[in-house]
Amino acid sequence: MLRTTPAGGAARGTAGGDRLVSIGSVLNQLRDEFPEVTISKIRFLESEGLVEPQRTASGYRKFSPGDVERLAQVLRMQRDRYLPLKVIREQLDALESGEQPRPRPQGAPDDLCHPGADPEHERPTVARVGRSELLAAAEVTEDELATWESYGLITATVDGGYDAQSVTVAKLVAHLGRFGLEPRHLRAMKAAADREAGLVEQVVAPLRRHRNPQTRAHAEATTRELADLSVRLHAALVQTALGVRLR
């Protein structure tokens, strides 16, 4: 059950006077760690029951600090452990009720980490996942994945596995599919992404060819920064084109 706060003014929570913030403010707080998060993503997580913001009398969402932290936990579990939303919800609900989350089966995507990683001190990170693990993480069928690959939306590595970005792409394509967007509709997005990547390569290619190791390292940092800026610009342009208002 969503809670309602009075309209107008600075909203405050009922516990400890925590300040409530708008969905736009939540987006700004999360983007430092999760640059690809969007308003639509936050709304989707709400629709899936991962967070329950309060509402003003006029229907505007208001998020508490606890809501923002829960969203951050959800995004981390998706990014780092590739858990389905149902499992994330179960684990967070268990933690909030003081229960111990059920352990994931051995071999699940969140159990894959770099060799030698210490689970007590290092967060699990995924270098490669297999086909079955990608299917489980994105919650899609073999036929769906094969179709995405035929359209060039996802490509396996030379060893037949998939990198972390492929898992992210698979999840996003699956989410878009629930709105009726088919792989053929997404070819334009793939082509635009390839063109943007080409622009980034033009900037960093001279740095990568440099003999100085520090300059080559700077090239990688520049690539990440340009990619982040490109993603933000793309999101802003789409929102502007659609006339999206942060609510």
Q: Where are the domains of the chain?
A: 1-102, 106-181, 186-247
pLDDT the model gives residue 246: 57
Q: What pLDDT score was predicted for residue 212?
A: 79
Give the per-residue pLDDT at 238.
Answer: 86
| Residue closest to 74 by CA, chosen among 93, 102, 57, 54 | 93
Architecture of the CATH domain 106-181: Orthogonal Bundle (1.10)
The model's pTM is 0.48
Q: What is the CATH architecture of 1-102?
A: Orthogonal Bundle (1.10)
Give the model's pLDDT for residue 20. Answer: 93
Q: Which pLDDT score, from 0 to 100, does residue 24 have?
A: 92
Low-confidence stretches of the chain (pLDDT beneath 50): 1-17, 105-126
Contact present, 182 and 152 (Cβ < 8 Å): no
User: What is the structure's pLDDT at 13?
Assistant: 45
Pairing of strands 61-62, 54-56: antiparallel
pLDDT for the residue numbered 10: 42
Task: Determine the pLDDT at residue 40.
Answer: 82
Q: Which residues are CB-neighbours of 83 under 8 A, at least 6 positions away? A: 77, 91, 104, 109, 110, 137
DSSP state, 197? H
Which tens digit of pLDDT belongs to each residue from 140-161? Answer: 899 999 999 999 999 988 888 8
Helices 23-31 & 65-81 angle (0-180, nearest 10): 40
